[in-house]
Amino acid sequence: MWLPVALGTGAAGYFALPVEPGLAIGWLAVTAGLVAIAIAALSPARVIASLLAALLLGFGLAKLREASVATPVLNQAIVAHLTARIVSIEPRERGARLVLDEVRSGAFAPGQTPRRVRVMVPGGAEFRPGNWISLTAGLDAPSAPVAPGASDFGRWLYFNSIGATGFSYGRARAIAPAHEPGLWDGVSQGVEDLRVRMTARIHAALPGSMGGIAASLITGTRGSISEEDDAALRDAGLAHALSISGLHMALVGGGIFWLLRALLAAIPAVALRYPIKKWAAVAALLASAFYLAISGAAPPAVRAFVMLATMMTAVLLDRPALTMRSLALAAAILLLARPEVVIDAGFQMSFAAVAALLAVAEWEQSRERQNPRGMLYRYVHGILMTSLVASLATAPFTLFYFERAAHYAVLGNLIAMPVMGFWIMPAAALSVLLMPLGLERLPLELMGQGIGVMVDMGRWVSGLPGSVSLVSAMPLATLILMSLGGLWLAIWRRGWRWWGAAPMLAGVILAFLAPRPDILVASDAVTIAVRGDDGLLHFVRKPRNNFVAREWLKRDGDGREVAEAIGIPGLRCDGLGCVVNRPPIIAAGLRPEALSEDCARAVVVINAAQGLCKGPAVVIDQKKAAEGQGWSINLLSLPSASSVREWRGQRPWVPNADE
């Protein structure tokens, strides 16, 4: 049970490095891991050798995975005319977002063309995956984290071989293919084209946000969900309903298994002569595999499919299904194939929730059953326990990645899950079955009505007083301690399992004691926030980068709008810039003429122009702000600054500042 944990730890160790290791290091780690496996098979020290093998394999495979997806990353904004092949299409409210590969353009330096780019285009409905297009696009480097410790979106794009993002100028036009696709490309294009066509049929029957939610449940495409509906479901603890995972896979696979077995059991001539249970298991496996393919195969969906496949395979072999071991198997498969999922929020939350649920289920099974209850009691008790346990298990990850906690998640799931299980998902399955016949509109409309009810429930729950709490961003060490403690609690079955509470408690204490930045500076050197005496962040002027400003407030656990946070007591501004007249004095200049006076008076000098001065403890000009990709400053006895680039390290997904 600890081998997947060791695999994940090895992969996480690779991502924690400040400098990218060479490819030879990756091969050496994999080779050493294979040697450790041989030692484990022959040595009495099997446990230690096995864990060491998993650690080495996790690290080595992460590096080899990086080498297999490696792409040049754009360093600065350009306008390029390019031709490329469409890999995937995601409908948006205004146009579509395309992922393109086999990019060809003279705008890139030799050897610096990204393997893939992602662009927003107007329209897009006329294209299909595999089409070749020509367009002119404004491209830029994938966005950096908004502050040290924030989510690194550029790293996620890099492991999808995307080295640039942007938007098209005008519409793209179709061109003749540069070559015919190979076998694997043809299969991938066929699956992706099926997803696009199904998504289009869904939106034709259910326009707007309802169609977006329906598409997210069937094909895993979430681009058209309105912010209001997304926020309502998230704040009601129902965000998991929009991400294809165990709930949806169980409803599809388990529903097919139960329905087919029930239908066959109603025919005595078949039920008495043939293994109808195994037939139903095969049908459930095939239906779940199809659902996995059209859903995009996100890590939570893969985890759910592996667990369901393990259970159905056990039925075929007349063996019991060991659920916690099937979870470990799913984790091992994902980590071996895609080690980067170890830093993915969906992977972490999915496995944390299921591990906790299985641990509680095993504990309940070990208790003596007395006074058996009725079916309704068991159903309500199951929803309550599932919601409570899953909410507690995923709380550290929710707080770390989203800086918010939904307090009525149990209530939201109690009233909404019956709608999901008995209304929405059966209608979704029926619509997919009827889609080849062109008869999907009626079940999709029925599904839309159920979605409307669920969204209304989400709005009601999220509107209750105190439904959501905002918290400041937690340090990574807190998440690591909470994760290790939770794994210790979930995996062990003996009394020492409770030792896992110690690192979890340490993580909570660390979260409360973690210092918050006193000053934040964006890469434009104009968007600047200073922490006031009230403990809140205040912008010294109207931010140029509103997205970064909003993210800073969110990470600080601050629910104010950006406009409400502009200005701070002691702030004085003129045509050259602003000064916060308080100890220590902070200068935020706009022009180089302000540097001489600011450097003579202030302890921290930030200037949107380029220039240097001596004296202040911290000086950040326009060039330094851009090269650092943003800065965080702490005003201790000796003020110190740390940049986003320093936090990201010298890794291939971080553009070179010297280029």
Residue 202 included in any domain: no
Please give the Cα distance from 276 to 516 (Å, whole number).
61
- 439 and 293 share a domain? yes
Residue 88: what are its φ and ψ, rounded to 5°? -150, 155
Residue 196 included in any domain: no
- 155 and 100 share a domain? yes
**Across residues 483-492, what is the average pLDDT?**
92
Count the Cβ atoms, other than its own, within 10 Å of residue 622.
18
pLDDT band at 369 (very low <50, low <70, confident <90, very high): low
Q: Which residue has the higher pLDDT, 363 or 275?
A: 275
- 286 and 161 share a domain? no
**Across residues 459-467, what is the average pLDDT?**
91
pLDDT band at 93 (very low <50, low <70, confident <90, very high): confident
**Across 42-56, 366-380, 566-580, least confident range:** 366-380
Count the Cβ atoms, other than its own, within 10 Å of residue 612.
12
The HSE-up count of residue 241 (CA atoms within 13 Å, CB side) is 34
Q: Which two tokens stand for residue 64?
A: 């080899």
Residue 494 included in any domain: yes
**300 upstream amide cis, omega within 30 of 0:** no
> What is the residue range of 506's domain?
476-513
pLDDT band at 305 (very low <50, low <70, confident <90, very high): confident
- 422 and 341 share a domain? yes
Number of structural domains found in the chain: 5
Q: Is the pLDDT of residue 367 over 80?
A: no
- 500 and 530 share a domain? no
**Looking at the chain, how many residues does it have?**
659
**Across residues 335-359, what is the average pLDDT?**
90
Q: Is the pLDDT of residue 545 over 70?
A: yes
Please give the Cα distance from 187 to 194 (Å, whole number).
11
* Burial class for 619, CB neighbours closer than 10 Å (0-12, 13-18, 19+): buried
Element housing 588 (H / E): strand 586-589
Residue 207 included in any domain: no
**Across residues 541-547, what is the average pLDDT?**
92
Residue 191 included in any domain: no
Q: Facing residues of 633 across strands?
A: 519, 641
- 257 and 281 share a domain? yes
Mean pLDDT score across all residues of the chain: 88
Q: Is the pLDDT of residue 370 over 60?
A: no
Q: Is the pLDDT of residue 371 over 60?
A: no
Which among 335, 336, 361, 357 has a CA at the least distance from the CA of 347? Answer: 335
Element housing 78 (H / E): strand 78-91
Q: Which residue has the higher pLDDT, 560 or 376?
A: 560
Q: Is the pLDDT of residue 146 over 90?
A: yes
Residue 173 sits in a domain whose CATH number is 2.40.50.140
**pTM of the complete model:** 0.88
- 256 and 385 share a domain? yes
**Across 190-199, 356-365, 425-434, 620-629, least confident range:** 356-365
**Across residues 539-559, what is the average pLDDT?**
93
Q: Which two tokens stand for residue 657?
A: 């500042």
- 284 and 387 share a domain? yes
**Across 75-79, 220-224, 603-607, least confident range:** 220-224
Which among 35, 31, 64, 62 has a CA at the least distance from the CA of 50? Answer: 35
The packing angle between helices 441-462 and 183-205, to 10°, is: 70
pLDDT at 373: 65
Residue 465 included in any domain: yes
User: Taking the C-alpha atoms of 380, 423, 251 and 374 in order, what is their torsion angle to the nearest 10 degrees?
Assistant: 30
**Across 45-49, 382-386, 527-531, least confident range:** 382-386
DSSP string, 457-518: HHHHHHTSTT-EEE-BPPPHHHHHHHHHHHHHHHH--SGGGGGGHHHHHHHHHHHHH----S
Q: Which two tokens stand for residue 263?
A: 């239908």
Residue 552 included in any domain: yes
- 38 and 104 share a domain? no
pLDDT at 361: 81
pLDDT for 200-258, tens place per residue? Answer: 899 999 988 898 899 888 888 877 788 888 889 988 888 888 877 767 787 788 888 88
pLDDT at 539: 95
pLDDT at 372: 58
- 409 and 429 share a domain? yes
- 117 and 261 share a domain? no
The one-character DSSP state at 251 is: I
Residue 363 included in any domain: yes
- 507 and 461 share a domain? no
